[in-house]
Chains A and B, each alone.
Chain A
Amino acid sequence: MLADQLKSRRLQLDSSDDATDFYYAKGWTDGLPIVAPTPERVARMLEGAHLAPDTVVGTFVQRRLQVSAEKLAINAVMAGCLPSYLPVIIAATKALLDARFGLHGILATTGGAGLMVLVNGPIARALDINSGLNCLGPGHRANATIGRAVSLIARNVFGRTPGVLEKAVFGSPAKYSFCFAEDETDGRWQPLHVLRGFARDTSTVTVFPAQGSGFLIVDPMSASPQELLLSVARKMRSVHVSRFGLSFQAVLFGPEALATLADAGWTKDMVKQFLYQQATWSVAELKTRPRLCRTSEIDGIDLRSAIEPSDASRHYSIVAEPDAILPIAAGSSGQRMMLVVPSMAEYRVESEPVTQPIE
């Protein structure tokens, strides 16, 4: 029996209520009740991904940790996941452990990053991962529990212990659970995983170190693509990472916003390019706060020098490059809305989004 192969320490507790209290007292929960990870439940979870308990999913190099499927399954049970969700959690873990993501710093940062998990491809529909109405909100089991499992894995497997290996000044509700799917129903826009080099019928997760759960833009009055995207650019440019020009940002477009753009022939690549060019600061603005972004010079311009007349017309983007912008279709009809989710780290210096196929 698979349950007999589990290597984790066994605890004898009288009831599930005891498990919640005991696990909470040990610091192993997010404060919410858990499903007790009995050997039988953990075994059923592993069967969902057809994995042996000792399968090594990845290595957390800086913390010298080998991450086993068994540990991920335990946290998935605790979070309330169905066994069919485990492959998504396995892929998300692999993506988080990818060196490009910079997990060590992301978990420790005073900024308190949310681990955003975006699911693309057929598995999102098969598992009923919400991409529509209230997709970032509560009430949808796959979204809630996959995101929660990733968060519990960060705590219990990766060692994201608040006050010790995590120093979030405020933290964020996004740290409880932050998982959703892209709405791929409008064929005019390529899904994000296709934009990032995967086949449309491949299922993927993309992980992103989110600075909170995002800034909403309600914009019923902007009728043209340019007006609409300028609203987005204004929000994007208000965001800081430590060094100017190294932000990366996800931008969610609701159906009306998508229609405004796609009806006028705007592709995601055009959107990325436009936002990159418009989400800028002028050199004059940068010179007013040269220390704001830990950048004292840009292209040889000393930002501590006096403002010159030409500085107002010279602009630099807040984001590192067009590919540092991730346009995502999501949400339900209601009003023309967008949501900007900025990164909690510097692009390709500290972190970047990582997309991983789901096996």
Chain B
Amino acid sequence: MPVVTTVFENSVRALARAQGYAQFPLVVIKHPVAYVDDAQLTERAQDVVDQAVRILLARSH
């Protein structure tokens, strides 16, 4: 599943809509990723895991 940062969320949703997948699940984390320190990166990684688990569990029901 796509992982995007907040700045690009509406871009990816617009692309998904344009390709017929308006409800495509996204993992959205804080922007940016490139220049954050280790603690901030760890926080984002945990956020990815939390959201991915939620999305996968929701899809399994």
Residues of chain A having any CB pair with chain B under 8 Å: 62-64, 108, 110, 159, 161, 163-167, 242, 291, 294
15 additional A-B residue pairs with CB within 8 Å, beyond A108-B11, A164-B10, A166-B11: A62-B15, A63-B15, A63-B18, A64-B19, A108-B8, A163-B10, A164-B14, A165-B11, A165-B14, A167-B7, A242-B34, A291-B35, A291-B37, A294-B34, A294-B35
Complex contacts, B35 vs chain A, CB 8 Å: 291, 294
Interface size class of B (residues with CB under 8 A): 10 to 19
Q: Which residue of A lies closest to B14 (CB)?
A: A164
Name the residue among B7, B11, B35 with the largest chain A CB count within 10 angstroms: B11
Complex contacts, A294 vs chain B, CB 8 Å: 34-35
Nearest first, the 7 A-B pairs at minimum CB distance are A164-B14, A165-B11, A294-B34, A167-B7, A242-B34, A108-B11, A164-B10
Complex contacts, B10 vs chain A, CB 8 Å: 163-164
State the majority secondary structure of interface residues on B: helix
Give 24 A-B contacts (CB < 8 Å), ordered by A residue: A62-B15, A63-B15, A63-B18, A64-B18, A64-B19, A108-B8, A108-B11, A110-B7, A159-B18, A161-B14, A164-B10, A164-B11, A164-B14, A165-B11, A165-B14, A165-B15, A166-B11, A167-B7, A167-B11, A242-B34, A291-B35, A291-B37, A294-B34, A294-B35
Residues of chain B having any CB pair with chain A under 8 Å: 7-8, 10-11, 14-15, 18-19, 34-35, 37
The number of inter-chain residue pairs (CB within 8 angstroms) is 26
Q: Which residue of A lies closest to B13 (CB)?
A: A164
* Cα A159 to Cα B10 with chains together (Å): 13
* Minimum distance in angstroms from A30 CB to a CB of chain B: 20
* Minimum distance in angstroms from B42 CB to a CB of chain A: 15
Complex contacts, B37 vs chain A, CB 8 Å: 291
* Cα A162 to Cα B35 with chains together (Å): 24
Complex contacts, B11 vs chain A, CB 8 Å: 108, 164-167
* Cα A166 to Cα B7 with chains together (Å): 10
Complex contacts, B34 vs chain A, CB 8 Å: 242, 294
A167 touches B14 (CB 8 A): no
* Minimum distance in angstroms from B2 CB to a CB of chain A: 12
* Minimum distance in angstroms from A164 CB to a CB of chain B: 5
* Cα A186 to Cα B22 with chains together (Å): 56
* Minimum distance in angstroms from B24 CB to a CB of chain A: 14
* Minimum distance in angstroms from B30 CB to a CB of chain A: 14
* Minimum distance in angstroms from A255 CB to a CB of chain B: 40
Complex contacts, A63 vs chain B, CB 8 Å: 15, 18
Q: Which residue of A lies closest to B19 (CB)?
A: A64
* Cα A166 to Cα B8 with chains together (Å): 9
* Minimum distance in angstroms from A349 CB to a CB of chain B: 13
Q: Which residue of B lies closest to A109 (CB)?
A: B8
Complex contacts, B7 vs chain A, CB 8 Å: 110, 167
* Cα A62 to Cα B14 with chains together (Å): 13
* Cα A242 to Cα B36 with chains together (Å): 13
* Cα A223 to Cα B45 with chains together (Å): 54
* Cα A110 to Cα B19 with chains together (Å): 23
Q: Which residue of A lies closest to B7 (CB)?
A: A167
* Cα A223 to Cα B27 with chains together (Å): 57
Complex contacts, A108 vs chain B, CB 8 Å: 8, 11
Complex contacts, A110 vs chain B, CB 8 Å: 7
* Minimum distance in angstroms from B11 CB to a CB of chain A: 5
* Minimum distance in angstroms from B54 CB to a CB of chain A: 26
* Cα A159 to Cα B14 with chains together (Å): 10
Q: Which residue of A lies closest to B36 (CB)?
A: A291
Complex contacts, A161 vs chain B, CB 8 Å: 14
Q: Which residue of A lies closest to B18 (CB)?
A: A63
Complex contacts, A62 vs chain B, CB 8 Å: 15
